[in-house]
Amino acid sequence: MAMDSVDQKWSTAEREIMEATYRAMLEHGYPGLSISRIAEQFDKSKASIYYHYDSKDELLVSFLDFVVDQFKTNFAEEIDEDPSSALNTVIERLVPLQMNDEEFQGRIVLIELRSQATRNEAFREKFTEINELLVTSICEIIERGIEDGTFRDVEAARVAEHIVATVNGSTIDRVTTNREVAPAAVRLSLSSYIDSELKSCQ
């Protein structure tokens, strides 16, 4: 299951196809994704894609895997020892105050794929995995903070669920509305929530 590196999970050709798929999806969206449009995004033909993938469905499941792996890799980067700053880092990573184009586009792709999880069980399992990863990671940080006295003795799992829901809701807002102040407001209220919920009630 766990691999040393992403490079061993996909061959060069497959990775090229995945990256072309990513670009095609950014340009045309999930409903507009077609084999021809993927082929347009790199230097090989439609038919070559079918050498590597039996069907469009199989390709899409692989693509989801590819995108989720990227997300996980990105999320798992060095997290501080100190529970309080670890939590800050995680939140800054999930709801950055400033987002560059690349990050923003990554969110768009994820949301579009996510909406397909409503009818596709393979997709659904992947997003269950993502949310579970987020909740578990945050939960562990909170538990560490409770142990070393940084945080109050709260129900860590419940607080983690809350944070993840808020973070996801904020992301959706940012990507599907023009409400430009909202993310900043949520960042503030999230800090306030963490303060009042986790720090001692002075």
Partner DNA sequence: GTCTATATCATGATAGAC
Partner DNA sequence: GTCTATCATGATATAGAC
In degrees rounded to 5, what are phi and psi of residue 178? -105, 20
In degrees rounded to 5, what are phi and psi of residue 196? -75, -25
Q: Interacting stretch for DNA, rule CB under 7 A, among 1-9, 34-42, 123-131, 141-149?
A: 34-42
Q: Which is nearer to DNA, 59 or 95 (CB)?
A: 59
Q: Which of DNA, its own copies, none does 31 bind, CB closer than 5 to 8 A by kind?
A: its own copies
In degrees rounded to 5, what are phi and psi of residue 10? -125, 140
Q: Does 161 bind its own copies (CB under 8 A)?
A: yes
Q: Which of DNA, its own copies, none does 115 bind, CB closer than 5 to 8 A by kind?
A: its own copies
Given a contact cutoff of 8 angstroms between Cβ atoms, the answer to whether 132 and 152 are in contact is no
First-last CA distance in the chain: 46
Q: Does 115 bind its own copies (CB under 8 A)?
A: yes
Q: Which of its own copies, DNA, none does 196 bind, CB closer than 5 to 8 A by kind?
A: its own copies
Q: Does 176 bind DNA (CB under 7 A)?
A: no
Question: How far is residue 90's CA from residue 96's CA, in Å, rounded to a whole number?
Answer: 10
Given a contact cutoff of 8 angstroms between Cβ atoms, the answer to whether 174 and 183 are in contact is yes
Q: Which of 31, 46, 137, 129 is nearest to 83 (CA)?
A: 137
What are the residues binding its own copies (CB under 8 A)?
A: 29-31, 108, 111-112, 114-119, 123-125, 127-128, 131-132, 135, 157-159, 161-162, 164-170, 172-173, 175-179, 182, 185-186, 188-190, 192-193, 196-197, 201
